[in-house]
Amino acid sequence: MELIKKYFPNLMTNQLNQLFYLKDLYKYWNFFINVISRKTSYNYDFYQNHVLFCLSIAKIFSFKSGSKIMDLGTGGGFPGIPLSILFPNSQFILVDSIRKKIKVVKKIVSYLNIKNVYPICIRAEKIDQKFDFIVTRGVAKINIIQNWIKNKFKKKYTIQNKTGTLYLKGGDLSEEKNTFPYAMEYSLKEYFEEPFFFDKKIVWIPNI
């Protein structure tokens, strides 16, 4: 938790409490269902590799009050749950096709009394809703996801109303971005000093 406080020093007490209990909740549920890597669910790496990595989106973007965000392929709730705690006035739809993972997400959201999260067991391309943003962490290659989410946005990108997809990625993304010349890449080593972040990036593709 000290790592979270280091980079997000202005969090409210309720937000800190919710983030604090995440670790124990995932440790418990991972005994039954492998929702995150067991190697990173019990120690310092949990907050670095899962929580802070997801919250890094907030270093680039701030979701406006009332924004509707889909977390595509949420798995155990990342990045949707940490982001929903950070942005309590935005709505997060957490989507995954694996029912047992959505079951865990529902349990965690209920225990923490998070009111702005709505987990749904469905394939992303079949969801019949429109969003301001879509966020995703390591689900598939960019071109595949972009094909899944066609026509899933409320509006087109403008300077006043930014909208599009945010990818949490690692490594060399040159090939993945090749067919998206308007994609913007943000290196997280510019925002965090821990070695884990040296090759981590956020790729932003506006809905043009």
Contact 103, 168 (CB under 8 A): no
What is the rounded CA–CA span in Å between residue 57 and residue 186? 10
Q: 3-class SS at 92?
A: strand
Give pTM, 2 decimals: 0.94
CATH number at residue 33: 3.40.50.150
Q: What's the pLDDT tens digit per position in 16-47?
A: 999 999 999 998 998 888 887 665 545 668 99
CA distance 104 to 66: 26
pLDDT, tens digit, 9 for 90 and up, residues 52-106: 999 999 999 999 999 999 999 999 999 999 999 999 999 999 999 999 999 999 9
User: How many other C-beta atoms can be found within 10 angstroms of the C-beta atom of residue 55?
Assistant: 20
Range of the domain at 123: 2-206
Count of domains forming the chain: 1
Instruction: Please report the DSSP string for 44-83 in residue order.
Output: HHIIIIIIIHHHGGGGT--PPTT-EEEEET-TTTTTHHHH
